[in-house]
Amino acid sequence: MASGLNSRKLLMLVPCDIFPPVHGGSTRVRFTIKHLLKTNQLNVLVNHVYSVGGKIELIHPNLSVRYCPKTTLDALGYRSVLFNPFYVKQAHYLMRNTSSDIIQCELLWSAPSGILLKKKFKRPLVLVDHNVEYLKFKEAGKFVYSLLLRTIEKKCCEQADKIVVVSELDRDNLSILYDIPKEKIQVIRNCTDSDKFKYTQKGRNYVRQKYGIDNETIVITFVGKLDYTPNVSAVKYIAGKIYPVILKDHPKTKFLIVGANYKPLMNYQKKNIIFTGYVNNLADYLSASDIVIIPIDSGSGTRIKTLEAASCSRPVVSTKKGTEGQDFRDKKEMMITDSVDQHFIECIKELIEDEHMRETLGKNARQKIENQYDWKQEIKKFEEVYEEVL
């Protein structure tokens, strides 16, 4: 039960598992819940999509979590939630038994279920659209599927009482694509937990000792869910374009590839490339890194891994795509290039050879996180959204 101070009840529909979060979208949801439960009572429906079998480690009197039963549909990923009758049934059950004041749909995929609840129970619907899904799949070359998503996304945006997006760019795209008034769309940027994601010498030592890496060796790290097409391309870039050039001049350099579902990419493993698999102590792995790279040239997403690296005071080399929608400045807080080109590789080499620059970029990146990308401040915008729709 919520305390007497907490009169607002939210039903949050989440299309994937978040215990633990394994990618940017689930990480954002996990952070959102952590901070919202301090002032709201949350009833959360999660799914087994992208689950690694973790336990619900977030315990609070204002939080109730229920899982949709496992089904064979889960293997289809997010899109399974669009037509999973068990998910709809569980959402209806929770709404009926919690009498929630607001329905909040995380990601587009849970929105059709939310619309059904809105119509039956006459409650306002908040859609948190982590990406403009139509544009994401169009860019990936999935044109037929993207057209279907455009129809779904347009309908869901029209039915929502308020839409939350992660950047001004997404706000502009949604408004133009679907003729949605901009005042209906609230930007609540992705942030990170700066208390959890911070550099520690203990974490650095632990990871380096685990892999037998001495203190003088430069470690370059990439983090991402490794069955996501843009991240697969990033691994190919690392193994085929970046690794050979870096190792030629700096043969002791190690590359860490951190992320779940890496086994299909094991043919890219080389002597100095280590696939770690999923890790639940990512801040330690970032602390162990001398440079974090984001060789992304397609896709969209939450870009939370960029924020986590910055929060750990790590110097980052990224494409513009990897920092899209964020406010990092080239050569001030990060090294940012147009694409995964020769300039990208030269930026890595420059950081390898200049320890002072690594320290300066890392320090400035951490300062930017504390000033602009901390959930403690950004989460207050959700309260404004709730007041408006009620």
At 300 the pLDDT is 63
Q: Say if residues 382 and 186 touch (Cβ distance below 8 Å).
A: no
How do residues 183-239 score in pLDDT, each as one tens digit?
A: 999 999 999 989 999 999 999 999 999 999 999 999 999 999 898 889 999 999 999
**Residue 141 pLDDT > 90:** no
CA distance 69 to 74: 10
Nearest Cα residue to 178 out of 209, 148, 155, 208 = 155
Average pLDDT over residues 296-307: 82
Check whether 2 has a pLDDT greater than 50: no
Please report the domains of the chain, with CATH numbers, ordered by start residue. 9-191+374-389 (3.40.50.2000), 201-372 (3.40.50.2000)
Answer yes or no: is pLDDT of 250 > 90: yes
Cα angle value 167/171/172 (rounded, 5°)? 115
How large a percentage of the chain has pLDDT more than 90?
86
Q: According to the model, what pLDDT value does residue 22 have? A: 85
Cα–Cα distance measured from residue 153 to residue 112, given in angstroms and rounded to the nearest whole number: 10
Contact 33, 12 (CB under 8 A): yes
Neighbours of 331 (CB within 10 A): 13
- What value does the mean pLDDT of the chain take? 94
Q: What is the pLDDT of residues 41-61, one digit of tens each?
A: 999 999 999 998 899 999 999
pLDDT for 318-328, tens place per residue? 999 999 889 99
Greater model confidence, 377 or 150: 150
Question: What is residue 203's DSSP assignment?
Answer: H
Q: Report the pLDDT averaged over residues 342-367.
A: 98
Give residue 5's pLDDT band: very low, low, confident or very high (50, 70, 90): very low
Instruction: Give the per-residue pLDDT at 292.
Output: 98
